[in-house]
Structure 1
Amino acid sequence: MAENTETDAPAKKGKLKLIIMLVIIIILAVGLSIAGTLWFLGGSLPGSDESEPEAATEPAFVASSYTDLEKALVTTVQADGRQRYAQVYVSLEARDPLALAAADIHMPLIRSQLVMVLGSSNFLELQTPEGRQALADSMLQTVNQVLEQEGEPVIDRVLFRNFVVQ
């Protein structure tokens, strides 16, 4: 019986080595399969630093916010020695909500300055798209000038919701 135990012991050691080798091969196969899938789908492997520079260079999207001047800006403009009227409904656009909050706080001063800009415009220029764009640019400079004097952030654009000259 001693002979039977000697032959059984080497057989068990061989089977144990075989089982350990199979487990290691299966674990490696699963790991390589996961890594290959991530690479194929364009994902990065854990621990790779390639995604950090891409995230740093791509800016996050920030949506614009708007505020409306509730009442229209109404004033007279000069045209060939006659007085004409201009009525403009204006909205302000900014990516920074603090800029719109500041514009709401300083709205009386902003309205006054915008009426002055509109009143100093030429009637014939206001009838062309280029003239209206120039007026919007001038109004933007005026609003930003007021906000900068008050130490507030600036707005991005002045938009016309309704524009009437007669």
Structure 2
Amino acid sequence: MSDDSNATAPKKKGGLKKVLMMTVALVALVGGGVGAGLYAASSGLIGGGGGAAAVENGPRLVPKAEEKRAPAPGEGEGHGESSSSGSGESTPLGVGGDKYASTYYAMDKEFTSNLRDSAHYVQVGIAVGTHYDDRVIENLRTHEIAVRSAVLMTLGDATEDDVFSSEGKKHLQTKIVASINNVLKQKEGFGGIGNVYFTNFVVQ
């Protein structure tokens, strides 16, 4: 009798080991899947979004530390990274403000369009700003005809409220940014325009 009970004991231990190993493997698989899901969500891979993750080798944000800056008059080599304060301490340039460098591009021709349900028309000059590298501006230049068409459609949908008040103009800027980014996303898979600036604004 004692021999039989001793023979069955190792079998129970072996079964317990198998259950433990299967549990550990299952936890590892579930954990890996959750981790991959969180990574994809944080990287913007889920949903497309038109951000940097939408194109694998698309434009990237340019930190201010990498911004190309012309030396100030009288500024020698080795002074490009900091400016001297009155206390003799060195203060890094770009402290405060935007974290990323800005690139601006003024579109050559002005835009003229009738306003919706109005006898007035609007004529505006537009410049765009981006925190991404030069590829965004290159994409804008490449597809400028399509971009101009989208901007004119947006202006044609504007009302008198959009052009006679500061709040309305800000709202119009937002709509123009969206229309430009939509064109760039359709053509290149990436928008990248952060803001639109009016360099001229006339309503007649």
TM-score normalised by structure 2 residue count: 0.49
4+ long deviations beyond 4 Å: none
CA-CA distance at 1:153 after TM superposition:
4.1
What's the counterpart of residue 87 of structure 1?
Answer: 123
- Matched with 1:46 is none
Assess, with a 3 A threshold, how the Cα gap between structure 1 residues 123 and 152 changes in structure 2: closer, same or farther: same
| 1:20-43 per-position Cα deviation (integer Å, ceiling 9, x unaligned) | xxxxxxxxxxxxxxxxxxxxxxxx
TM superposition shift of 1:85 = 1.3
> Residues 122 and 61 from structure 1, CA distance in 2 versus in 1: closer, same or farther, beyond 3 angstroms?
closer
Aligned residue for 2:177? Answer: 140
State the distance in 2 between where 1:125 and 1:156 align: 20
Q: Identity percentage over the alignment? A: 28
Q: How many equivalent residue pairs?
A: 105
> Of 95, 101, 109, which aligns to 1:63?
101
Q: Indicate the RMSD between aligned Cα atoms, in angstroms.
A: 1.7
| 1:8-157 matches, cutoff 5 A | 61-79=99-117, 82-96=118-132, 97-150=134-187, 151-157=189-195
1:164 maps to what in 2? Answer: 202
Q: Secondary structure at the match of 2:120?
A: strand
Change over 3 Å in CA distance of 1:61–1:78 after alignment to 2:
closer
Contact 1:87 1:163 survives alignment (8 Å): yes
- Higher share of residues assigned helix: 1
Distance 1:95 1:86 in 2: 29
Measure how far apart 1:100 and its partner are.
Answer: 1.0
Q: Report deviation, 1:164.
A: 0.8
Unaligned runs of 5+ in 2: 1-97
1:71-104 residue CA offsets vs partner (Å, 9 max, x unmatched): 100011145xx42110010001012221111111
Partner of 1:43: none
Aligned residues of 2:130 and 2:136 also touching (Cα < 8 A): yes
